[in-house]
């Protein structure tokens, strides 16, 4: 009888220990997932992108500056906005940095290679603001930067992804996304000038 009680005690103890270990492992796993989630939350300054020549650019180099991120295209009805973006760059370049991201997501209006895009921009519009390699700004292959720009769980408030070429995202001096402007809002529009001068 004593042996039976002893064996039952050992079995009960082993079962409790296993349950305790399962709970502990569950807590560790949950904590690990939480830490992983915290590590994957990024700010604008955490991204590294490639410029139009293929060089890596860490966006932390723009800390303390206002930034306008624009998805651009060479064969769009809004393509003449390149001229206004360059004008904005020339008149307000000491207050804001324009970053152009070519994208072929809308109507196949940016079919060219990075080299062809660079030649088009500089040759036709004298673009001197930073241009980056062609990326996807929507869909399953959306670039990580554009995921951040269009996901409020990452940027804090905005779920609006580009609806067409030449949509504009305004980031303040602290790296926080503050405004989204549709394609039809001209770069020299009073609405944009106001946030630059504020």
The residues assigned a catalytic role are 76
- The DSSP secondary structure of 49-98, one letter per residue, reads EEBTTS-EEEGGGGTTSEEEEEEE-SSSTTTTHHHHHHHHHHHHTTTEEE
Backbone angles phi, psi at 6, to 5 degrees: -60, -45
Contact 68, 172 (CB under 8 A): no
Cβ neighbours of residue 164 under 8 Å, at least 6 residues apart? 76, 78, 106, 182, 183
Distance from C-alpha of 185 to C-alpha of 81, rounded to nearest angstrom = 10
Contact 98, 171 (CB under 8 A): no
Q: Please tell me the number of Cα atoms within 13 Å of 175 on its side-chain side.
A: 15
Coil/strand/helix, residue 184: coil
Distance from C-alpha of 168 to C-alpha of 60, rounded to nearest angstrom = 19
């Amino acid at each position: 009888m004593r042996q039976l009680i002893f064996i039952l005690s050992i079995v009960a103890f082993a079962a409790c220990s296993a349950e305790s270990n399962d709970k502990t492992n569950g807590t560790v796993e949950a904590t690990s997932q939480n830490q992983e989630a915290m590590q994957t939350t990024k700010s604008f300054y955490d991204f590294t992108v490639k410029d139009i020549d293929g060089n890596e650019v860490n966006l932390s180099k723009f800390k303390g500056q206002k930034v306008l991120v624009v998805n651009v295209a060479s064969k769009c009805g809004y393509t003449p906005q390149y001229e206004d973006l360059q004008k904005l760059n020339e008149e307000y370049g000491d207050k804001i940095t324009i970053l152009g991201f070519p994208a072929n997501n809308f109507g196949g209006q940016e079919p060219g290679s990075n080299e062809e895009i660079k030649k088009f921009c500089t040759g036709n519009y004298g673009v001197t603001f930073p241009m980056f390699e062609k990326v996807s700004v929507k869909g399953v292959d959306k670039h990580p930067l554009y995921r951040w720009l269009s996901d409020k769980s990452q940027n804090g408030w905005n779920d609006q992804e580009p609806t067409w070429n030449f949509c504009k995202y305004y980031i303040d001096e602290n790296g926080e996304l503050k405004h989204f402007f549709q394609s039809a809002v001209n770069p020299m529009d009073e609405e944009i000038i106001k946030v630059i001068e504020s």
